[in-house]
Amino acid sequence: MKRPLLSVEKLSIEFGQGSESKRVVDDLSFTLNPSETLCIAGESGSGKSLSALAIMGLLPKMARVPEGVILFHDEDLVGLSERRLQHLRGREIGMIFQEPMTSLNPTMRIGDQMLETVRRHKLATGAGAHKHIRDMLEAVKIPRAGDRVRQYPHELSGGLRQRVMIAMAMLCQPQILIADEPTTALDVTIQAQILDLIRELQAEFKTAVLMITHDMGVVAEMADKVVVMNQGVVEETADIRKIFTSPDAEYTRKLLAAVPRLGTAPTRVPQVFGEPVLEVSNLRVRYPMKSQGLFAPAREVMAVEDISFTLHQGETLGIVGESGCGKSTTGRALMNMVDFEGDVRVMGTNIRGLKGAALKKQRQDIQMVFQDPYAALNPRKNIAELVGEPLLIHRRGTAAERERRVAQLLAQVGLPEADAMTRYPHQFSGGQRQRICIARALALNPRIIVADEPVSALDVSVQAQVLDLLEELQKDYELSYLFISHDMAVVERLCHRVAVMYSGRIMEIGSRDQVLRNPRHPYTKRLLAAVPVPALDRKLTPAPLDETEAPNPIKAKGHVPPAVRYEQPEEGHFVAVSV
Amino acid sequence: MMPIYILRRLGYAVLILLGVSFITYLLLYMIPADPARQLAGRSATAETVANIRAQLGLDLPFYQQYFHYLMNLIQGDLGRSYIQRTEVSALISSRLGPTMELMAWGIGFELLIGVSLGMLAAIKRNTAIDRFLMALSFVGVSSPHFIASMLFLYLFAVNLDWFPLGGYGEFEHVLLPALTLGLLGSGWYSRMVRSSMIEVLEQDFIRTARSKGLTRLRVLFRHVLPNAIVPVIPMIGIDIGIFIGGLVVVESVFGWPGLGQLAWQAIQRVDIPVIVGVTMISAVAIVIANLIADLLVPLVDPRIELDKS
């Protein structure tokens, strides 16, 4: 029998010493063969990333490995000398990380960072080294590789930076490539390209890939074998087919059930909604930019350009799009947190330019829930103060009345415990914190809630619960949601209508089924095609890398972009046509 | 881009210098010491003192005195010393060389000691070494220069005889005063470098650098240090003012024939033109040092643009 390339046996990782120690990975075993892709899948806190770092010998100082071996060929990587590990890292085992924006040294040119690896492992010298770098950049399909080597990381987009990371990790043609959530921080269309690239390089160089991911869609896309981890323990190890057809572990089944799958939500009968609560017409947001010189013309970033839509009572409108498309700016404009042009009518009142008391009054009707529940709650205030703060600001009721209201709100969002009020945000999990944020947004009985990626920071199982809560609250209070998200599957699950934004404009808007099941605009089609599906045999065919990234939004002040005309292929379905 | 930036900064510099000259002049006008009486000596009659006062123009109202000074200043005339009867500009230029020499060595030692101790503390963070170094840096920043200078002079020059007692000319003369300045000033930098390094050590790109198989030293000097030093560079410009304050004392204690000593003597004898002259030169030095520091930052960190005021 052929021996595996890498074999992890009964690996445990602990933090701290003695009785204080906490076991974060327990009894992990798996093998990895040449040319194979193994995915370690799990939610946050499963210990999947630490396991990858243990293989590299890059565990944080506080962590130690009390038991287990990591055999690479005949060598045990656990307890190997730093010198020997340095020799293996980058040369035999390469690694790429989750955050391409922060994983490259900002003060070093791309070429120099790559050259370092080449020199360290004595791959080539002089002109040969430079050629090797350019070849590798071309292998990861970076356009104009010759120019890129002289650029600094901040001059490249996230997708290109991740390509640079991959090129750097592949320089020595390592036998193993460890990819820790390599596409989590990227837009779906870029994700599809990066996954495809990894597959291609793997085939070319016969590399074994160890992929760490929380996304079952990515697992289905990439894996030959899967290790499902939960709270440091292996729930199941099986080949991909078994995981998706007949998983053994209860946890795997739950995980797969919780993943929202694009295209699986039942078709909706068209609903009739109440009065319009939010009417947006010709909304435009531009951020001023510093001019480039004394006499250079003033410039602006066109963040949102001439968009219009209506939201009715009890309705959820999803705004989807990739990073930089203007979806979050739209949300901020509706909250009057940025200056805008055009009309935004909340309950019939135009909110443009409202200040002071009028603005405060208007905010009772429209409230916001943010993406990161960890950052959105002041850590020094307890839950009663946080949820009660809107009431205090708007001088609602007496102290006793406010307390009753807070208790009622917490019960509504599923945190009925009596002691919740006196606890602080850090004592709650991410999902609970997002519930607290929702309770706070509900405090003033708003009619509209703007939710900006409210479940993106949460694990899938928690995501499902928060989405359920949002639906329940909508039913009970006839709330209207503006649901901003990059996640098509979540939008499909929750929204009645969907608007697709690109480069500051709405490309397509209509009922959920019209836009997601019968997309008309090429951009919508591309976006939908790039979403990985957590099911077998539905591999993505990524669109060929086109370098026409979103048009540069920086324009001279007062620039008038060409108008967009909308066609209406069916009732209520509008598609942008460039003129 | 850059020439415009430098021109604008120099424009601000003129305003700063104007303000410095006004405040210095005003403060000297308000202090109770009387330069005329100082010059005339203890036994002089009231009439002699009044004569001297009129001679120096000190009997005029403040705004006239200041205006007069300013007009001369614009023509490059810093006035004459009351005591030595020579041009202030000549006095300053004869002292500038030694001071620059001592400053260069002092700042060099300050950075060398500060950055290396800060790096060491960051690598050994939360250990006994770290705590010892940080305690040491605290002693450094809080020791007054006049006590430390005399202590070092007594210990290393008088008792141990490692250094000459004072004087100027040879390389050995500059060592002890420069080390004194460097040691006392380094506490600042070691603390800053330490916290900045710790922050950078946690960054993702450090993990990337290690995953490439680079040696610890290479990671430290090529990846951690350049990023950690960025926030420290502007501090060097700001620190120059404090540094010059220490320079005045150290030069006087070690008998270093520089501007600091000149200033010290002038202050003791209320030699107003010299005091204002040295203050102006110091202000120019601070402004230039800050400008250079700000110009250096984008060279180390390409993300930073000069224009972000």
DSSP string, A359-423: HHHHTTTEEEE-S-TTTSS-TTS-HHHHHHHHHHHTT-S-HHHHHHHHHHHHHHTT---GGGGGS
Q: What is the pLDDT of residues B9-58, one digit of tens each?
A: 889 889 999 999 999 888 888 888 788 887 887 788 888 888 888 888 88
Q: What is the pLDDT of residues B72-110, one digit of tens each?
A: 888 888 888 888 888 888 999 999 999 999 999 999 999
A470-495 b/e with 16+ CB inside 10 Å = b?
beebbeeeebbbbbbbbbbbbbbbbb
Per-residue pLDDT of chain A (579 residues; tens, 9 = 90+): 568 899 999 999 998 877 778 899 999 999 999 999 999 999 888 889 999 999 999 998 889 999 999 999 889 999 899 999 999 999 999 999 988 889 999 999 999 999 999 999 988 888 999 999 999 998 888 888 888 899 999 888 888 899 999 999 999 999 999 999 998 888 888 888 889 999 999 999 999 999 999 989 899 999 999 999 999 999 999 999 999 999 999 999 988 888 888 887 787 777 788 899 999 999 999 988 766 665 667 788 888 999 999 999 999 999 999 888 899 999 999 999 999 999 999 999 999 988 888 898 888 999 999 988 888 999 999 999 999 999 999 988 899 999 999 999 999 898 877 788 889 998 888 889 999 999 999 999 999 999 999 998 888 888 888 999 999 999 999 999 999 999 999 999 999 999 999 989 999 999 999 999 999 999 999 889 888 888 877 677 666 555 555 567 777 777 888 888 899 998 889 999 875
Q: DSSP code of A573?
A: E
Comparing CB atoms, the residue among A58, A103, A107 nearest residue B302 is A107
Whether residue A91 lies within 8 A of chain B, CB to CB, comes out as yes
pLDDT of residue A343: 93
Q: What CA–CA distance (Å, rounded) separates A351 from A333? A: 10
β pairing state of A6-15 and A573-578: unpaired
Answer for the pair B257, B169: CB distance below 8 angstroms, yes or no.
no
pLDDT of residue B116: 95
CA angle A568, A574, A575 (to 5 degrees): 100
Whether residue B227 lies within 8 A of chain A, CB to CB, comes out as yes
Q: What CA–CA distance (Å, rounded) separates A390 from A444? A: 7
Q: What CA–CA distance (Å, rounded) separates A200 from A121? A: 24
Helix, strand, or coil (residue A68): coil
Contacts of A89 in chain B (CB under 8 A): 210-213
Cβ–Cβ gap B4/A99 under 8 Å: no
pLDDT of residue A542: 64
For residue A89, give the chain B residue with the closest CA: B213
Q: What CA–CA distance (Å, rounded) separates B196 from A431? A: 33
pLDDT of residue B212: 95
Alpha-carbon gap: A389 to the closest alpha carbon of chain B (Å): 34
Comparing CB atoms, the residue among B214, B215, B301 nearest residue A107 is B301
For residue A114, give the chain B residue with the closest CA: B212
Whether residue A168 lies within 8 A of chain B, CB to CB, comes out as yes
For the whole model, what pTM was predicted? 0.84
pLDDT of residue B37: 80
Q: What CA–CA distance (Å, rounded) separates A88 from A94? A: 9
Cβ–Cβ gap A90/B212 under 8 Å: yes
For residue B226, give the chain A residue with the closest CA: A107
Q: What CA–CA distance (Å, rounded) separates B296 from B233? A: 8
Q: What CA–CA distance (Å, rounded) separates A549 from A523? A: 12
Whether residue A103 lies within 8 A of chain B, CB to CB, comes out as yes
Query: Residues of B numbered 184-213 whose beta carbons fall under 8 angstroms of chain A's beta carbons: which are they?
Result: 203-205, 207-213
Whether residue B291 lies within 8 A of chain A, CB to CB, comes out as no
Cβ–Cβ gap A58/B207 under 8 Å: yes
pLDDT of residue A105: 95
Give residue B309's pLDDT band: very low, low, confident or very high (50, 70, 90): very low
Number of Cβ within 10 Å of residue B303's Cβ equals 12
For residue A383, which of A433, A452, A429 has the smallest C-alpha distance?
Answer: A433
DSSP string, B16-84: HHHHHHHHHHHHHHHSS--HHHHHH-TT--HHHHHHHHHHHTTTS-HHHHHHHHHHHHHTT---B-TTT
Give residue B249's pLDDT band: very low, low, confident or very high (50, 70, 90): very high
pLDDT of residue A61: 85
Cβ–Cβ gap B302/A152 under 8 Å: yes
According to DSSP, the residues that pair with A450 across neighbouring strands are A368, A482
Query: How many Cα atoms sit within 13 Å of A474 on the Cβ side?
Result: 25
Q: What is the pLDDT of residues B173-207, one digit of tens each?
A: 888 999 999 999 999 899 999 999 999 999 999 99
Sort A131 into a burial class: Cβ within 10 Å, 0-12 / 13-18 / 19+. exposed
Classify A63 in phi/psi space as left (phi over 0), alpha (psi -120 to 50) or beta: beta
Sort A250 into a burial class: Cβ within 10 Å, 0-12 / 13-18 / 19+. exposed
Interface test with B, best of A59, A107, A161, A184 (most B CBs within 10 A): A107
Contacts of A116 in chain B (CB under 8 A): 209, 212, 214, 218, 222
Token output for A490: 């979540």
Answer for the pair A263, A76: CB distance below 8 angstroms, yes or no.
no
Q: What CA–CA distance (Å, rounded) separates A382 from A377? A: 9
A366-404 b/e with 16+ CB inside 10 Å = b?
bbbbbbbbeebbeeeebbbebbbbbbeeeebeeeeebee
